[in-house]
Structure 1
């Protein structure tokens, strides 16, 4: 008897948006790509890599030489140089670093003469 109710509009009882969609029509998400960069963290304790593989990874890191840009090379020679190259005044920290570097070089020269 409950199927004979006259409550509500007729559109409520029509199939309209209540249809089930076929699985072939559902837009799927892209498949997982294996070997994505940085998918394994080297210091992950739950990673199941062997100790030999971890050691090999560390050796590769040590042997890999990354090319340095000119600013990095300049900052190793003189900490204030990168700011000067850009036309800016060096920061207080860069000035202090330059003073410390000069003092260390002077100390090493004196130590070498003795």
Structure 2
């Protein structure tokens, strides 16, 4: 929101309080929680492994939309989510290169 900084003081006068609180919630809630969880995961696992789990986001979005919002996923959504999950599985199960000889 930094590019909008010059117009924020005057532009916020006509907004509803619910809209303002929604923006504050989105900035503090999910965004802050995501950074905390990302840092925690990086402190426990290598960055390459943690990054591969980002590909689960589309599949999780489909499941959340289906369970919480009642949206039925389309066939294309299911195929895309399946490809994303398959990519995570391939990366985590078979993505490691063999260690060079003499290194344990």
TM-score when normalising by structure 2: 0.33
| Bigger CA radius of gyration | 1
The higher relative CO (CA closer than 8 Å, separation ≥ 6) is in 2
TM-score when normalising by structure 1: 0.31
